[in-house]
Amino acid sequence: MWFLIVLLVIILIIAVKSIKVVRQSEVYIIERLGKFHKIADAGLTIIIPFVDRVRSVVSLKQQTMDVPPQGVITKDNVTITIDTVVFYKVTDPAKAVYEIQSLKKGIEYLAITTIRDIVGKMDLDATFSSRDLINEQLRAILDEATDQWGCKIDRVEIKDITPPADIRDAMEKQMNAERNKRAQILQAEGERQSAITLAEGKKEAAILEAEAEKESRIRKAAGEAEAIKKVAEARASEIHLVYDAMMKSHPDDTLVQLKSLEALKDIANGEANKVFIPFEATSALSSLGAIKEVVSDDKKDKKKAE
């Protein structure tokens, strides 16, 4: 009876030692008699008890490692503290176990030395403005160095860069100065643009006003010219009518002289101070004087006869 119980216990122990269940995204490194035997993937795995053993359980998921903050000296001799995180994945579990004693420690030390080398070649301002460049250089160097360890570096991110307190104060003052400078530049630019716009508006208004005045003068001159033209045409028409009437009445020299005298009367009634009578008009005036004397004598004779 006791023999059966002991045998059953031995069988259970052997079963427990022989049957292994590997979880998803993990692999087992199996050694046989102290030597690498195989990599057990996810699922059920049978091993030989007391001959085979599980050396290590390796995760195939992407893993993160927070590198402790490190003091780094920049090219311009400023000590800054850089906090970094590394994203990596095991691609060859056997190498990750057998090629290095501690994969995480190896990545950490390599990241620290690489950060110091890269940042030591850069100025302080460049470290703040070139984070993407630093991340990419770190990733490339770490990926190349860890390839022999069966590891792939997917990403490297700098979480924080902390300069000394006095440097932070100087940077804040510089930033305030830059902000004030930009504000003054923007204000000056706005005033300049406003002055330019105002000047252009005044210029446009002056041009429009000059064009309007020019157009007004042109139209006024055209109206006056048209009026003068029409007056001249009316007078010319009157002259033609008078001339035609006179020609139809067959005037003699006496009538012409009388009309000339009437014209002289109208001229004398004008605003001119002096009137010059042509020499030809004197003969007409003498004839009119003689006519007046004859008419006066006739009137006197009539009165005497009465």
Three-class DSSP category at 36: strand
Residue 6 in domain = yes
37 neighbors 55 (Cβ within 8 angstroms): no
Give, for 124, the enclosing helix (H) or strand (E): helix 124-129
> Into how many domains does the chain fold?
3
Do residues 68 and 156 share a domain? yes
Among residues 241, 272, 275, the alpha carbon closest in space to that of 260 is found at 275
Other Cβ atoms closer than 10 A to 103: 21
Q: What is the pLDDT of residue 86?
A: 93
Three-class DSSP category at 73: strand
Chain-centre distance for alpha carbon 203: 27
Q: What is the pLDDT of residue 211?
A: 86
Rounded Cα distance, 146 and 107, in Å: 7
Q: What is the pLDDT of residue 295?
A: 44
Rounded Cα distance, 275 and 292, in Å: 23
Other Cβ atoms closer than 10 A to 112: 16
Among residues 17, 21, 15, the alpha carbon closest in space to that of 42 is found at 21
Do residues 42 and 131 share a domain? no
Listed as ranges, residues in the chain with pLDDT below 50 are: 272-273, 275-276, 279, 281, 284-285, 288-292, 294-295
Q: What is the pLDDT of residue 21?
A: 84
Q: Which domain holds residue 272?
A: 251-305
Q: What is the pLDDT of residue 169?
A: 76
Q: How far apart are the first and last CA of the chain?
A: 208
**Domain-terminating residue out of 141, 163, 185:** 163
Residue 207 in domain = no
Do residues 151 and 123 share a domain? yes
> Which amino acid belongs to residue 155?
R
Residues in the chain: 306
Residue 198 in domain = no
Residue 89 in domain = yes
CATH code for the domain of 124: 3.30.479.30
Rounded Cα distance, 159 and 153, in Å: 17
45 neighbors 20 (Cβ within 8 angstroms): yes
Token couple for 99: 């090629």
The secondary structure of residue 148, as a DSSP letter, is G
Residue 188 in domain = no
> Which amino acid belongs to residue 107?
I
pTM of the entire predicted model: 0.54
Q: What is the pLDDT of residue 44?
A: 85
Q: For residue 90, give every residue at least 6 positions away whose Cβ sits within 8 Å of its Cβ, in sequence order, or none.
A: 58, 59, 60, 63, 96, 103, 150, 151
Q: What is the pLDDT of residue 279?
A: 46
101 neighbors 145 (Cβ within 8 angstroms): no
Rounded Cα distance, 40 and 22, in Å: 7
